[in-house]
Amino acid sequence: MMNKPFYLAAVITSTLLLSACGTTGQSGVTTSASNATSGSKIDNAISTALSEAEQSGNKQEVLAILQQSHKRDPQNVDLAVKYAKALREDDQINVAKRILTPFTGKDSTHSDALTEMAMTQISLGDYSNAEQTAARALEINSKSGRAYLAMGTAQDAQEKHGDAEISFREGLKYQKGDSASILNNLSLNLASQGHLKESLSILTKARKLYPKRMEIERNYRIIKTLQEDAAAQLAPPPNKKPTA
């Protein structure tokens, strides 16, 4: 079976060739209606291939499709954000930063692009700039759960644990869909402040919501052990009978 990224490229090439053979006016220029139809076919082919790749969980296939899509439409900010996220998750951090840079200048109004840039800066260990970038994203969209996640993560890395806790809790208010990362990071933040009971409570909730997330299961076991050890240290020593 043909590899899907190459299949997608073949579909796009085929569609473009068909458009070149389309109806032309007297000047020999392809009509706008034909161009629109060709563009629609390409968009549909890309969308279908991307959806199938995402459902299959094939990250490399998703990355390849997004790369082709971005080359076709480099000014599409939503596409650039998706592509940059896929690159970051593939540890191509500097490439992701380069893709986002045109959309995250000082006059940027793209909250999602700024948020992804903050995530990229966190991956690069640039926590101070990540916090500032996340703050810019929140100025544009104050109800972005993901921007609060980026903000809290950057603050935590700088040992601003109280500020980070506030950011994570705000993020939970607005996060749509998967909240595993915010729950996980909030629990670790609370643990770092010595609030082991509340940390374990949040991880217990997260385990029920996301039973397949290994990082949550791992952190649950760690925090549970820490709480048990702390409880043991606080327990009074057992009574000893006097020896004769």
Please state, in angstroms and rounded to a whole number, the distance separating the CA atoms of residues 23 and 35: 10
Task: Give the per-residue SS3 of 115-182.
Answer: HHHHHHHHHCCCHHHHHHHHHHHHHHCCCCHHHHHHHHHHHHHCCCHHHHHHHHHHHHHHCCCCCHHH
Do the beta carbons of residue 197 and residue 231 sit within 8 Å?
A: no
Please state, in angstroms and rounded to a whole number, the distance separating the CA atoms of residues 69 and 141: 26
Query: CB under 8 Å to 195, separation ≥6 — which residues?
Result: none
Do the beta carbons of residue 216 and residue 184 sit within 8 Å?
A: yes
Do the beta carbons of residue 40 and residue 12 sit within 8 Å?
A: no
Query: Pick from 104, 100, 106: which is nearest to 85 by CA?
Result: 100
Please state, in angstroms and rounded to a whole number, the distance separating the CA atoms of residues 115 and 112: 5
Do the beta carbons of residue 98 and residue 120 sit within 8 Å?
A: no
Do the beta carbons of residue 209 and residue 180 sit within 8 Å?
A: yes
Query: Pick from 6, 11, 85: which is nearest to 42 by CA?
Result: 11
Query: Pick from 45, 44, 43, 21: which is nearest to 31 by CA?
Result: 21
| pLDDT, one tens digit for every residue, the chain (244 residues) | 445 444 444 443 333 333 333 444 444 445 555 555 555 666 676 677 777 777 777 788 889 989 989 998 999 999 999 999 999 999 999 999 999 999 999 999 999 999 999 999 999 999 999 999 999 999 999 999 999 999 999 999 999 999 999 999 999 999 988 999 999 999 999 999 999 999 999 999 999 999 999 999 999 999 999 998 888 877 666 665 555 4
Q: State both tokens at 20.
A: 């070149």
Q: State both tokens at 76.
A: 């599409």
User: Residue 226: its pLDDT value, please?
Assistant: 92
Q: What are phi and psi of 24, to 5 degrees?
A: -120, 155
The dihedral through the CA atoms of 232, 235, 236, 238 has a sign that is negative
Please state, in angstroms and rounded to a whole number, the distance separating the CA atoms of residues 38 and 127: 44
Q: State both tokens at 137.
A: 């994203």
